[in-house]
């Protein structure tokens, strides 16, 4: 594990580092080989906390969300954070070069949702490929210490997270103590038994926290239409978003219903505090249970829908 007193050396924001799967900060393609910073990140880590952004988010916007989330983490946990970047947005080449989207790129990026679930899955494969050699090296040394990976993901990044869980499920060198899915832009049929793609992988995890909200404007209005071409044989209800209606809780899956709108999760400091509490105190669930209280009662700085235009929330997933 990265020692807390060394964390500033790893990254100026006080986190362990980053793994980028994208060729550009704005728009751009999926990298053939992931860029790991610092280069020794995977060799030294024993525990990592992956943060995974969602659809239509540039690397610059992801950094803002990650910073907001990291402020609520304990210093020791923040020192284990690895920021994951994947090409979940789109832009004209000219806007990619200047790292800023114009109006055309903003519209283009929003329309790219139909292809981005596949990009999320491919991004997961690249992430696995980046980590794989280090796992083989540890296994070759006869190490019995598995790499502990916690994942906190938002929106379409939850599909990337679940695909990563599925691909890692049978690897004895990886231990995943906690996976947090916020506003998951994932159809329920993917996680529901008996035929859900991710059911078996989830059953191998210690704890999954599904955070959802019926007040999520983006998922309520845009998810089903955007997902219409995806597995059309499933019924309308099954194609609903996991991040809006949730699923039944089990001994493995904790389901927390709140009053978040789609962009309210990363800046909610009590979510990051709950993650810290769970990792620091070996499975303390009380922090997540408190999140079910109303936003007003918890007095967080979440951005109410009434203070934003529909366009502003519909273009950040």
Could you report the per-residue pLDDT of 242-301, keeping only the tens digit for each?
A: 999 999 898 889 999 988 999 999 999 999 999 999 998 777 778 888 887 665 566 544
Q: Using CA atoms, how far apart are residues 177 and 283, in angstroms rounded to an integer?
A: 8
Write down the pLDDT at residue 8: 38
E strands along 59-173, which residues? 81-85, 147-154
Could you give the count of Cα atoms lying within 13 Å of 114 in the half-sphere of its Cβ?
Answer: 5
Residues 6+ apart with CB under 8 A from 51: 66, 69, 70, 81, 82, 83, 84, 152, 153
Inform me whether the pLDDT recorded for 15 exceeds 80.
Answer: yes
How buried is 40 (Cβ within 10 angstroms: 0-12 exposed, 13-18 middle, 19+ buried)?
A: exposed
E strands along 120-242, which residues? 147-154, 174-175, 179-182, 208-212
Percentage of the chain modeled with pLDDT above 70: 84
Q: What is the mean pLDDT of residues 177-188?
A: 95
| Confidence band for 5, pLDDT divided at 50, 70 and 90 | very low
Q: Reduced to 3 states, what is the DSSP secondary structure of residue 210?
A: strand
Is the pLDDT higher at 5 or at 44?
A: 44
Residues forming beta bridges with residue 257, ordered by sequence position:
212
| Confidence band for 129, pLDDT divided at 50, 70 and 90 | very high
Write down the pLDDT at residue 185: 95
Candidate from 43-52, 78-87, 133-142, 231-240 with smallest mean pLDDT = 231-240
Inform me whether the pLDDT recorded for 176 exceeds 80.
Answer: yes
Write down the pLDDT at residue 227: 58
Q: Report residue 22 as tokens.
A: 């994208």
Inform me whether the pLDDT recorded for 162 exceeds 90.
Answer: yes
**How high does pLDDT run on average in the chain?**
85
Write down the pLDDT at residue 294: 60
pLDDT tens per residue across span 220-253:
887 865 555 555 555 555 678 999 999 989 888 9
Highest mean pLDDT among 125-129, 193-197, 299-303: 125-129
Write down the pLDDT at residue 244: 94
Q: Using CA atoms, how far apart are residues 83 and 66, in angstroms rounded to an integer?
A: 8
Write down the pLDDT at residue 41: 94
Candidate from 100-114, 167-181, 272-286 with smallest mean pLDDT = 272-286
Q: What is the mean pLDDT of residues 66-74?
A: 95
Q: What is the phi/psi pair of residue 296, to 5°?
A: -65, -40
Q: Using CA atoms, how far apart are residues 66 and 45, in angstroms rounded to an integer?
A: 20
Place of tokens 């053939």: 32
Is the pLDDT higher at 85 or at 236?
A: 85
Is the pLDDT higher at 143 or at 63?
A: 63
Is the pLDDT higher at 45 or at 131?
A: 131
Domains located in the chain, CATH noted: 4-314 (3.40.50)
Write down the pLDDT at residue 90: 96
Write down the pLDDT at residue 75: 92
Candidate from 66-70, 81-85, 126-130, 278-282 with smallest mean pLDDT = 278-282
Inform me whether the pLDDT recorded for 7 exceeds 50.
Answer: no
Inform me whether the pLDDT recorded for 138 exceeds 80.
Answer: yes
């Amino acid at each position: 594990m990265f020692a807390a007193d060394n964390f500033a050396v790893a990254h100026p924001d006080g986190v362990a580092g980053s793994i980028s799967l994208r060729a550009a900060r704005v728009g751009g393609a999926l990298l053939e080989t992931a860029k790991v910073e610092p280069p020794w990140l995977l060799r030294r880590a024993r525990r990592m906390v992956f943060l995974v952004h969602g659809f239509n988010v540039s690397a610059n916007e992801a950094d803002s969300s990650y910073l907001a989330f990291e402020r609520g983490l304990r210093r020791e946990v923040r020192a284990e954070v690895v920021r994951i970047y994947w090409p979940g947005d789109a832009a004209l080449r000219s806007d990619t070069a200047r790292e800023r989207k114009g109006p055309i790129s903003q519209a283009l990026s929003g329309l790219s949702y139909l292809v981005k679930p596949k990009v999320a899955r491919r991004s997961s494969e690249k992430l696995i490929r980046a980590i794989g050699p280090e796992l083989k090296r540890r296994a070759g040394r006869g190490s019995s210490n598995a790499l502990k990976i916690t994942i906190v993901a938002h929106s379409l990044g939850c599909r990337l997270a679940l695909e990563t869980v599925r691909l890692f499920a049978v690897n004895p060198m990886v231990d995943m103590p906690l996976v947090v899915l916020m506003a998951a832009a994932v159809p329920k049929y993917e996680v529901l038994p008996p035929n859900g793609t991710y059911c078996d992988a989830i059953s191998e995890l210690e704890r999954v926290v599904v955070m959802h909200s019926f007040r999520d404007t983006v998922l309520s209005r845009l998810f089903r239409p955007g997902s219409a071409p995806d597995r059309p044989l499933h019924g309308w209800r099954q194609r609903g978003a996991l991040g809006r209606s949730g699923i039944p809780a089990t001994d493995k899956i904790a389901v927390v219903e709140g009053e978040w709108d789609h962009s309210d999760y990363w800046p909610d400091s009590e979510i990051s505090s709950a993650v810290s509490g769970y990792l620091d105190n070996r499975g303390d669930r009380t922090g997540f249970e408190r999140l079910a209280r109303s936003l007003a009662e918890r007095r967080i700085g979440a951005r109410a829908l009434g203070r934003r235009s529909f366009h502003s929330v519909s273009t950040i997933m």
